[in-house]
């Protein structure tokens, strides 16, 4: 229903798909069993012989053409048929996977159960070419996104901006946070379920390298610049714990409690590696930890009205959501959900030097690689605030960033911002009718401030990180 215009375009192609005016185009580089299905059902006229607006520019005349995708970027996700629209559009069995309207081929009988199963199996085995090549296995610039509600991790190719892989974390694992190791060879993913499993993945092969139980409810993780130590918060509501782990050996080192903080949520390590900073959802402050011995050095209250030390009767006012530290380790930025602002701390003087008003419910934030801009997503108004770090003033606001933006990262070259959004806003998305509501990732040109792509993802996207230099 969200894509009436697209359905009209498909309907316009019905007459040309009913008959084959030019005859089937020779299908190149598909396995023979898949090739025969495509030649019999998908080519000729204005179907998928070549790119046209009617077929959303999806070409199936060859395996290589197919991998270029259409305007939706997710026709084939290797090893994940249920998220691949090529399968969804030919599927008629909701028990097997989502049934996506319109059913293909248009104005003709659906594919047989056997042919549907062939497409399903082919994609689940990697959607390989006739020579055994897996699509997108040569990607080098990856964006990792945590999709919590479906226990998945999505991988986007930063060069093409398309979704190229979905990894299953396992039922009940609930991916919550992602950090990339300094050598860019592996990434660490913290799970909010399954006893707080923290897992390491090989970035190039997507294989699992290790895991351990933190026995916490992780919300965020942060690594020291040399990758020798990691910190994990415990979002167990009214708790006061955080964890320290070894990301090399993948073992839990210790769990530390502090009466200065309630509900530790976000964590960041200063680029100089000296301190870790953890904000307390329920205590309206930021804890400072010495990374040498993990001792608590004190806290930075978000306002003069914050009680230090905090008591169980304290009613939170600011609700700090995210912390990031400037590249010179002298400034701390804290988004505050309740007061709709970014609080800026001078870490040399331990004073608040600015309060920057933003829209409702600021959530994630990220600094540009050169440190000149702070990008802040506002969950409540589906927008992004771009702030000058030299003046602490708003530069611009980018509206209509899908729905419920949660996290943002900026590519290492400073060219693009990727925004993980909890739920899709329709419009630029595809038309799935089964399964959980899809979420989305938004790609923004940092120079022009223009949204260049909005694409769907598995449900509830809450963290995003660039996994390349």
Q: Which pLDDT tens digit goes with each residue over 289-314?
A: 999 999 999 999 999 999 998 887 88
Q: Where are the domains of the chain?
A: 4-124, 151-316, 358-469
Q: What is the pLDDT of residues 207-223, one digit of tens each?
A: 999 999 999 999 999 99
Contact 366, 417 (CB under 8 A): yes
Residues 6+ apart with CB under 8 A from 112: none
SS3 89: coil
Burial of 351 (0-12, 13-18, 19+ CB in 10 A): exposed
pLDDT in tens, 79-128: 999 999 999 999 999 988 888 888 999 888 999 999 999 999 999 999 99
Domain 151-316 identical in fold to domain 358-469 = yes
DSSP structure class, residue 117: H
Whether 229 and 244 have beta carbons less than 8 Å apart is answered as yes
Architecture of the structural domain at 358-469 = 7 Propeller (2.130)
- Beta-carbon contacts of residue 283 (< 8 Å; ≥ 6 apart): 260, 261, 262, 263, 299, 306, 310, 314, 316
How large a percentage of the chain has pLDDT more than 90? 77
Return the CATH number of 151-316, one of 2.130.10.10, 3.40.220.10, 3.30.70.260, 2.40.240.10: 2.130.10.10
Query: What pLDDT sits at residue 188?
Result: 98
Mean pLDDT of 257-268: 95
């Amino acid at each position: 229903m969200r894509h009436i215009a697209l359905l009209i375009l498909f309907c316009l192609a019905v007459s040309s798909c009913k008959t084959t005016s030019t005859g089937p185009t020779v299908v190149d580089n598909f396995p023979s069993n898949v090739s025969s299905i495509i030649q019999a059902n998908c080519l000729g006229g204005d179907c998928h012989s070549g790119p046209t607006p009617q077929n959303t520019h999806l070409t199936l005349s060859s395996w290589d053409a197919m991998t270029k995708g259409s305007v939706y970027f997710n026709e084939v996700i290797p090893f994940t048929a249920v998220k691949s629209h090529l399968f969804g559009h030919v599927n008629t069995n909701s028990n097997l996977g989502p049934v996506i309207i319109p059913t293909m081929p248009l104005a003709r009988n659906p594919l047989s159960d056997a042919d549907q199963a062939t497409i399903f199996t082919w994609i689940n085995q990697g959607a390989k070419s006739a020579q055994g090549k897996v699509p997108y296995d040569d990607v080098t610039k990856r964006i990792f996104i945590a999709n919590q509600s479906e226990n998945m991790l999505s991988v986007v190719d930063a060069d093409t901006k398309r979704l190229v892989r979905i990894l299953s974390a396992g039922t009940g694992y609930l991916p919550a946070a992602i950090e990339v190791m300094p050598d860019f060879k592996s990434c660490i993913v913290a799970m909010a379920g399954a006893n707080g499993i923290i897992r390491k993945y090989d970035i190039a092969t997507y294989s699992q390298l290790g895991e351990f139980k933190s026995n916490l409810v992780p919300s965020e993780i942060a690594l020291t610049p040399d990758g020798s130590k990691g910190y994990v918060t415990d979002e167990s509501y009214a708790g006061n714990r955080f964890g320290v782990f070894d990301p090399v050996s993948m073992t839990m080192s210790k769990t530390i409690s502090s009466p200065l903080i309630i509900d530790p949520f976000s964590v960041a390590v200063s680029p100089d590696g000296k301190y870790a900073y953890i904000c307390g959802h329920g205590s309206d402050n930021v804890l400072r930890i010495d990374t040498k011995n993990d001792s608590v050095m004190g806290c930075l209250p978000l306002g003069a009205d914050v009680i230090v030390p905090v008591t169980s009767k304290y009613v939170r006012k600011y609700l700090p959501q995210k912390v990031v530290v400037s590249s010179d380790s002298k400034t701390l930025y804290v988004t505050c959900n309740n007061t709709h602002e970014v609080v800026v701390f001078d870490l040399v003087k331990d004073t608040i030097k600015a309060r920057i008003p933003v829209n409702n419910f600021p959530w994630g934030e990220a600094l540009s690689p050169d440190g000149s801009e702070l990008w802040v997503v506002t969950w409540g108004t589906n927008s992004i605030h771009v702030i000058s770090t030299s003046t602490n003033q708003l530069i611009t606001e980018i509206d209509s960033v899908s729905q419920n933006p949660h996290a943002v990262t900026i590519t290492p070259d400073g060219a693009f911002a990727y925004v993980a959004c909890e739920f899709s806003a329709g419009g630029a998305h595809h038309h799935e009718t089964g399964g959980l509501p899809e979420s989305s990732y938004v790609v923004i040109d940092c120079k022009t401030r223009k949204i260049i792509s909005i694409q769907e993802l598995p449900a509830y996207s809450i963290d995003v990180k660039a996994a390349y230099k």
